């Protein structure tokens, strides 16, 4: 997940498998929209070494950015992420609205949530910043509220059970190229 410091710039993400010398080899995935920020999501990536390239497509001056990676594993999910309704039916051409809510996230961290729609293969990712701890922690604070409605996938079918988890960020912020082992 790339967060450009300058939202008027256009940075892109290119993910390559790493060659024997550690240099980019084969393009594995990319996120190259006209937006400043980009995000690559990989389902069950092949084990190996990867190189992530940040491409400065356009922009001026010092283009700083932050890279954050998440490793999604249902066994390590935190926070009670739920979506309402849990089962969604939508007519063709209709827009459906889901409301995502979460509880129990540790303060001052960023989390990635994943909402999957039955067997459709469609997913929505959402980022949650849990915010600062209240000054009087002995009293229950309002806590994070419900998130914005997530657009559903229009269609004439029932989406079935919606599965969702939420994950903690790996914690490390990366700048420039960063390889990791999948
Ligand atoms: Ca871009």
pLDDT digit string, tens, across residues 101-138:
888 888 888 888 888 888 888 888 888 888 898 887 56
d(CA 48, CA 143): 39
pLDDT at 180 over 60: no
Q: How far is the CA of 87 from the centre of ligand 1 (A)?
A: 34
Residues 6 or more apart in contact with residue 106 via CB below 8 angstroms: 78, 130, 168
pTM above 0.75, yes or no: no
Q: In the chain, what is the greatest distance between 2 CA atoms, to the nearest angstrom?
A: 56
Paired residues of 18 in beta bridges: 24
d(CA 112, CA 39): 12
pLDDT digit string, tens, across residues 34-63:
999 999 988 888 999 999 999 999 999 888
- The closest alpha carbon to 37, from 70, 9, 61, 72, belongs to 9
Q: How far is the CA of 36 from the centre of ligand 1 (A)?
A: 5
The per-residue DSSP string of 22-34 comes to SSEEEEEEEE--S
pLDDT at 144 over 70: no
Phi-psi region of 121 (alpha: psi -120 to 50; beta: other; left: phi over 0): left
Please compute the mean of the pLDDT values over residues 6-24 and round it to a whole number. Answer: 94
* Residues with C-beta atoms within 5 A of ion ligand 1: 10, 12, 33, 35
Please compute the mean of the pLDDT values over residues 14-43 and round it to a whole number. Answer: 94
Q: How far is the CA of 7 from the centre of ligand 1 (A)?
A: 10
Query: Token match 């400043």: residue?
Result: 36
pLDDT number for residue 142? 61
d(CA 19, CA 13): 18
pLDDT at 149 over 60: no
Q: How far is the CA of 66 from the centre of ligand 1 (A)?
A: 14
Q: How far is the CA of 63 from the centre of ligand 1 (A)?
A: 13
Residues 6 or more apart in contact with residue 15 via CB below 8 angstroms: 27, 28, 29, 30, 40, 42, 50, 51, 52, 53
- The closest alpha carbon to 162, from 123, 105, 109, 111, belongs to 123
Yes or no: say if 82 and 100 are a contact pair by the CB < 8 Å rule: yes
pLDDT number for residue 152? 39
């Amino acid at each position: 997940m790339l967060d450009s410091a300058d939202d008027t710039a256009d940075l892109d993400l290119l993910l390559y498998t790493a060659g024997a010398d550690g240099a980019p080899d084969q393009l594995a995935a990319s996120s190259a929209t006209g937006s400043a920020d980009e995000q690559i999501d990989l389902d069950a990536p092949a084990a190996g070494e990867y190189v992530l390239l940040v491409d400065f497509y356009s922009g001026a001056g010092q283009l700083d950015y932050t890279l954050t990676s998440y490793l999604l594993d249902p066994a390590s999910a935190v926070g009670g992420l739920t979506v309402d309704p849990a089962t969604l039916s939508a007519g063709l051409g209709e827009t459906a609205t889901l409301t995502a809510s979460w509880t129990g996230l540790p303060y001052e961290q960023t989390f990635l949530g994943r909402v999957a729609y039955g067997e459709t293969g469609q997913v929505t990712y959402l980022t949650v910043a849990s915010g600062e701890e209240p000054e009087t922690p002995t009293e229950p604070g309002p806590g994070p509220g419900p998130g914005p409605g997530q657009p559903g996938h229009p269609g004439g079918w029932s989406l079935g059970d919606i599965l969702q988890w939420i994950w903690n960020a790996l914690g490390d912020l990366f700048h420039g190229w960063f390889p990791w082992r999948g």
